[in-house]
Amino acid sequence: MELKLDLHVHSVYSPDSFNSIDEINNRIREQVFDGYALADHDTLKGLDEAHKKSSGLVFIPAMEVSARRAHVVTLDPIEIVPPGLSLPETVDLIHDQGATAILAHPYGFPRSWPQMRQVESANLDAIEVANSAQVPYGVICSLNQKLADRLGLPATGGSDSHIPETVGRSYTIVESESTDYLDVIKAIRLGHTRVGGSHTRFGEWFTKNVMKRLR
């Protein structure tokens, strides 16, 4: 079955996000997505709440780990990976707990710009090709896809949403045996994916909704 998923969403448990768990679930349902991965920065705090409120959706527990010069979306983490380690060290610790390591926004300067020798030596499971927060969107998606192709790794997509309006903006279509999140992760690792979406418009950060939250 084909599942439409946003594999990179942030909630208020990330210090730079305005998305409540309820808003994320509502937006996913409104857009008729099948589910999402909650990937807050270096924390697992929102996962229990999100799982409880995601009835009827495919919920994938995740975390975005802040490696040195790189970010790694971790699917099904058990414990926090210390931030600030090298990319290969980070991926090794992710794998030690049986989790999956996806290189987030590889060319997302200034947020991340990993050294290619580090990327090549890390035992990554996939490359995030579509990320709505990267600009120019088409150019960066093309660079990400070329990297994934060169390394022979699957492609994923996610909104990297920090505001409700952009949840689902980029996404992954996963061909999975079932809606069980472990089957979904298995399908991602096997490369049964394709990506789509578009970019976050600069002005969206300055909507009345966001400004209200900043006050």
Structure tokens at 180: 């069980």
| 30-58: average pLDDT | 98
Range of the domain at 48: 2-214
Q: What is the reported pTM?
A: 0.93
Rounded distance between C-alpha atoms, residue 157 and residue 171, angstroms: 5
Q: What are phi and psi of 122, to 5 degrees?
A: -75, 145
- Among 13-17, 49-53, 91-95, 175-179, the range scoring the smallest mean pLDDT is 13-17
Can you give the CATH number for the domain in which 195 is found? 3.20.20.140
| 58-83: average pLDDT | 97
Residue 202: per-residue pLDDT: 61
pLDDT in tens, 156-211: 999 999 999 999 999 999 999 999 999 999 999 999 999 999 987 766 655 645 55
Rounded distance between C-alpha atoms, residue 133 and residue 56, angstroms: 28
Residue 108: per-residue pLDDT: 76
Per-residue exposure over 21-56, b if at least 16 CB sit within 10 Å of its own CB, e if not: bebbbebbeeeebbbbbbbbbbebebbeebbeebee
Q: Which amino acid is at 85?
A: L
Q: What's the total number of domains in the chain?
A: 1
In percent, how much of the chain has pLDDT > 70?
A: 92
Lateral strand order in the sheet of 100-104? 155-158, 126-131, 100-104, 70-75, 58-67, 35-38, 2-9, 170-175, 193-197
